[in-house]
Amino acid sequence: MKFIGIIPARYASTRFPGKPLAQLANKTIIQHVYENTLSVISDVWVATDDTRIYDHVKSFGGNVIMTGKNHQSGTDRCAEAAKELSQNIDFDVIVNIQGDEPFVRSEQIESLKLCFEDKNTEIATLIKKVESDEVLFNPNRPKVVIDDNEYALLFSRSTIPFIRGKENAEWRKHHTFYSHLGMYAYRSEVLQEITKLSTSKLELAESLEQLRWLENGYKIKTATTEFESIGIDTPEDLEAALKYINH
């Protein structure tokens, strides 16, 4: 099975314009992401809407492709790039690595790839055991419940499942909860299909695009990672990342 990595990276960002080109230690954020991905997938591409990012990726020897400016999500940008690349490259699965996660680990990408040893896997994503109440009750950290075969049943910003008859502080003693980390992989044909779907009711309610896929019957295989996701959304996050990398 042939894997390709695509890193969607846009310049415009309300909270942090030009984020992919921000310096983190001696490299830009996008170069960190690219090189970490390249350690696991031999064919990696940055998909961008900005010539500054395009030129920078070229400058460090990376593969890069221009995409439209009006995509609503990184998934949509990946789909456009994959469709264009498929004219010249053969691949079965696209791994979507977020362009603002410079600490993405090879083990996380390998876990996603292993999901496709199951022939029923259409989409794969990462989950992590919840280890604090801060994460458990934080609506900015989506939770997921899974079936016995590790397929996602539901994602929610609410804490799921609800533990009846117990105080909140007791919940983690009575159930293993999982948070969702937003890294995905998709079979090539499935990626093209899901980007043509209309916005769904659950997606509108929770503002989680993966609910659209579940509502339309797609199966999302999960892989459990022990490593936390460290994304950079703001200049303050970058400062924290600098402390992390120098720790």
Q: What is the domain-level CATH number for residue 36?
A: 3.90.550.10
Residue in the block written with tokens 């579940």: 214
Mark whether 6 and 96 lie in a shared domain: yes
pLDDT band of 231, cuts 50, 70, 90 = confident
Identify the residue whose tokens are 């390249």: 38
Cβ-Cβ contacts under 8 Å for 131 (sequence gap 6 or more)? none
Total domains present in the chain? 2
Task: Quote the pTM value.
Answer: 0.94
For residues 175 and 86, membership in a common domain is answered with: no
> Does residue 22 fall inside a structural domain?
yes
Q: Is the pLDDT of residue 243 over 80?
A: no
Residues spanned by the domain of 172: 119-180+188-227
Q: How much of the chain exceeds pLDDT 90, in percent?
A: 83
**Does 88 share its domain with 65?**
yes
Based on the fold, state whether residues 83 and 135 are members of the same structural domain: no
How many helices (H) and strands (E) in the chain? 10, 11
The pLDDT, as a whole number, for residue 142 is 96
Statement to judge: residues 75 and 2 lie in one domain: yes
Between the alpha carbon of residue 23 and those of residues 50, 60, 103, 106, 235, the distances in Å are: 17, 14, 14, 22, 11
Q: Is the residue at 236 inside a domain?
A: no
**Confidence label for 230 from pLDDT (cuts 50, 70 and 90):** confident
**Whether residue 41 sits in one domain with residue 129:** no
pLDDT at 246: 59
Q: What is the pLDDT of residues 71-123, one digit of tens each?
A: 989 999 999 999 999 999 999 999 999 988 999 999 999 999 999 999 999 99
Q: Strands 143-146 and 178-187: what pairing?
A: antiparallel
Mean pLDDT (the chain) is 94
